[in-house]
Amino acid sequence: MKKIILSGFIAGIALLLLSILGLYLTIWLFPGIAMQYFHPAYDTQSERLVLYYLSPFLISFVMSWFWQRFKTLLTDSFLTRGIELGLIYVLIAPLPMIWLTFSSMHVSLEMAASWLVLSLIQGIAAGLIFEKINP
């Protein structure tokens, strides 16, 4: 249990940093995508902003538990196991939610693709952290 919590917390910090980095990279490299967040559908209320900063920790603790339960099924090298966990995560959680959001809200294909890429990067990063801390 200690390894699940420790690796989840460390991965949560990494995912938060990746989220913030992804936000700034999107603003700098893809200002057209960043401008889409000014649509009224994305009106954030300041009292709910803390939920954005807690979401990487929620994701990382769930993924840490998942890693603990299924790590024996991933049987290749260090890098391959991390990538596999990232791909499994993206296929199970973000992809269906991005699909649902894309089909029901005012979201461009580029924005949805950026979410998918960030989710994949976060999943792989978490997988590599779990592999290192809790092999």
Residue 75 has pLDDT above 90, yes or no: no
Residue 78 has pLDDT above 90, yes or no: no
Instruction: Tally the domains of the chain.
Output: 1
pLDDT in tens, 82-115: 889 889 999 999 999 999 988 988 788 988 999 9
pLDDT in tens, 14-60: 999 998 898 888 889 888 888 887 777 666 667 777 888 898 999 99
Helix H or strand E encompassing 5: helix 2-29
Q: What are the residues whose beta carbons fall under 8 Å from the beta carbon of 6, sequence distance 6 or more?
A: 133, 134
pTM (predicted TM-score): 0.83
What is the residue range of 77's domain? 2-133
